[in-house]
Chain A
C-alpha cells in the first residue's frame, strides 16, 4: 500500500463523487426497486400496484415456461463455457509455441473479440441456414439434416456454436497473456514436440494457467448468461417453441412485451441477482482478486 502523498480534505471526495453518484443512481437505486417491484403485481397501463408478497416467485417456480427457461439456460451456458474454454485453450497453446512466424497466428486468432453477439448470430444463421447454408449443405451430404428453424435441439446447438465462436477471441487473448507470464524455460521444457507432450502439458502448463482459466470460467458464464440476448433476438427469438428462450430473453418479454409482467420480470431480475452473487462469491473465494474485464 502506498502511503498517501497529498493532503487535502475535500479533493479526494470530489474525485470519487461522480463514480459513487452514478453507481447510486443507475445501479443501487434501480436494483432496490427491482427488489421492491418483485413483491408487487403491477399493471403498466392502468398504473395499478398491488402488494402480493412472494407470489411472483411462486408463479415463476411453478411455471413450465420459466422452468424450461432455466433448463435451456443451464444447458446453453454449460455448453458455451466448456467448448469456448477448451477450443481457445488449445488454440492459444498452439499459437504460443516458440516457432518463427507464430506471431501472425496470435493476431489472426483474436479478431472475433471485435464481433458482436448479434452479428456472430447472423453469420452463423446463414452458415447453417436450412436452405442456403453451406454448412447445412455439407452436413446433408453426411446424411445429417440440420435445421435450427424447426428442430429444438438443433436450435440450441446453433446458438451455442455462434456464441462460442464470438468469445474465442477474448479467451485466446487472455490465455495468450497467461502463457506469456509463464517462464520461458517451462514453456520450452513442456514444448508440445516429442514424447509425453500431452502429460507434460497437463502437469506443467495447465496448473500455471489455472488462475486465467478460472477467471475465464466466470467471465464466460456471465457472457453466456447475460450478453447473448442480441444473438438470440436477431436469430431464433427464443424459438422454435421455447427451445432457446434463455432467462434474459424471457425476462425481456415479460418486462417489456406484456402489460402485466413488471412484477414478474422484477422477480426474475432478483433470481438473476442471486445467480450473479453466487458467481461473485466463487470468484472471490477461488479466483483471488483480479481485475474484471467485461
Chain B
C-alpha cells in the first residue's frame, strides 16, 4: 500500500519536473521580453514624443512626425553637425588604431631599449582623464590657435593606451613562426605588418573602432569648450542648443533631433558588435 503511494508521488514529481522543464523557457522568454521592453521603453517614449505636436503626457503617437524631424534637421543644422562629428569620430578612431598598432608592433617585434619606460609613459594617460588637465589643455589649444578647428577636436585624443594594450595582447598570441617565416622569405617589417599582421588583427581593429567611434561621437565637455563655430560644432552640443533657448522648448523637435543623433553610433554598434564580443572574449582569456 505504502509502496504504491510512494511510486505515484515519484511519478507525480517526475511529471511536475518535466512540466517545469517545458515551462521554464517560456517563462524565461516572458521575463526577458519584459526586461527588453523596460530597457527600451524610454527610447520608445522618445520616439512617440517626436511624433507629437502637443505634449500632454500621453503615449498616443501624434501626426507631426515628418514636421518635427524636418524642424530638428533645419533648426539644429543637423546635416552639418553630422558631417562635423563624423569627421572627428572617424579621424580619431582611425588615428588611434594606426598609432596603437604601430606602437604595439614596435614593442613586440623589435628590441626596444627603454620600451617599458615608453609603455609606462603612454599608460599614464589612464591617470589623466580630461578633467585632471582641462584648464591647461584648453590654454594650450588657445596658444596653438586650434580653437574651433578639427585639429583641436581630434589630435589631443590620438594617443591610446587602451589600443596599445589591446594590440600588444593580441600580437603576443600570434605565433613567432609567422614572423620568422616572413623574414626568411625576405619580407621586411612593413611587408609583414601590412600583409600579415594587420589582416589577422581585423577583429581587434573592429572592436577598437567601435569603442572609439562611439566614444568620440558622444563627446560633450571638450567640444563644448573648443568648438563653437558652425563649421566645427559637434552633435551633442548641437542638441544642447535645441534645449538651451529662451523660447518655449518644442520637445517634439528636440526628441526628433536626439533620435537622429543616436542613429550613426547605433549603426556602428550593430555592424561591429560581433567583433567587440569576440575581441572581449579573447582579450579576457589571458590574464
A residues at B contact (CB < 8 Å): 1-8, 11-13, 15-16, 18-20, 22-31, 33-34, 37, 91, 94-95, 97, 99-102, 105, 107-119, 122-124, 126-127, 129, 131-134, 136-137, 165, 168, 173-174, 176-178, 180-181, 192-194, 211-212, 222, 226, 229-230, 233-234, 247-248, 251-252, 255-256, 262, 265-266, 269-270, 272-273, 276-277, 280, 288-294
**Using an 8 Å CB-CB cutoff, how does the interface string of B105-130 with A read, 1 for contact, 0 for none?**
11111111001001001101111111
Determine whether the beta carbon of A34 is less than 8 Å from that of B217: no
Confirm or deny: B79 has a beta carbon within 8 angstroms of a beta carbon on chain A: no
Determine whether the beta carbon of B159 is less than 8 Å from that of A107: no
A112 to B254, CA, bound (A): 19
Chain B residues within an 8 Å CB radius of A229: 220-221
Confirm or deny: B155 has a beta carbon within 8 angstroms of a beta carbon on chain A: yes
The interface stretch among B1-9, B61-69, B70-78, B162-170 is B162-170
Determine whether the beta carbon of B56 is less than 8 Å from that of A132: yes
Chain B residues within an 8 Å CB radius of A111: 40, 266, 269
Given A15-B105, A234-B240, do A22 and B283 touch, yes or no (CB 8 Å)? Answer: no
A248 to B107, CA, bound (A): 36
Determine whether the beta carbon of A293 is less than 8 Å from that of B211: yes
B residues at A contact (CB < 8 Å): 20-21, 24-25, 28-29, 31-33, 35-36, 39-40, 42-43, 45-46, 49, 55-59, 99-100, 102-103, 105-112, 115, 118, 121-122, 124-140, 155-156, 158-162, 164-166, 169, 171-172, 174, 176, 179-180, 183, 189, 192, 211-212, 214-215, 217-218, 220-221, 224-225, 236, 239-240, 243, 251, 254-255, 258, 261-262, 265-266, 268-270, 273, 276-277, 280-281, 283-285, 287
Cβ distance B147 to chain A, nearest Cβ, rounded Å: 13
Determine whether the beta carbon of A291 is less than 8 Å from that of B166: yes
A110 to B211, CA, bound (A): 13
**CB nearest to B55 among chain A residues:** A132
Determine whether the beta carbon of B281 is less than 8 Å from that of A181: yes
Given A126-B251, A173-B280, A226-B131, do A211 and B287 touch, yes or no (CB 8 Å)? Answer: yes
Chain B residues within an 8 Å CB radius of A4: 109-111
Determine whether the beta carbon of B111 is less than 8 Å from that of A180: no
A4 to B102, CA, bound (A): 15
A113 to B268, CA, bound (A): 11
11 contacts between A and B (CB under 8 A): A6-B179, A27-B125, A28-B124, A31-B136, A100-B25, A107-B273, A122-B254, A165-B42, A251-B134, A290-B283, A291-B283
Given A15-B103, A27-B124, A193-B21, do A234 and B31 touch, yes or no (CB 8 Å)? Answer: no
Contacts across chains A and B counted by CB atoms under 8 Å: 302
**CB nearest to A193 among chain B residues:** B24
Given A113-B269, A265-B135, A280-B127, do A180 and B281 touch, yes or no (CB 8 Å)? Answer: yes
Chain B residues within an 8 Å CB radius of A129: 57
**CB nearest to A115 among chain B residues:** B262
Known: A22-B99, A29-B140. 9 other contacts (CB 8 A): A6-B179, A12-B112, A16-B106, A18-B99, A19-B159, A108-B36, A109-B35, A177-B284, A222-B129
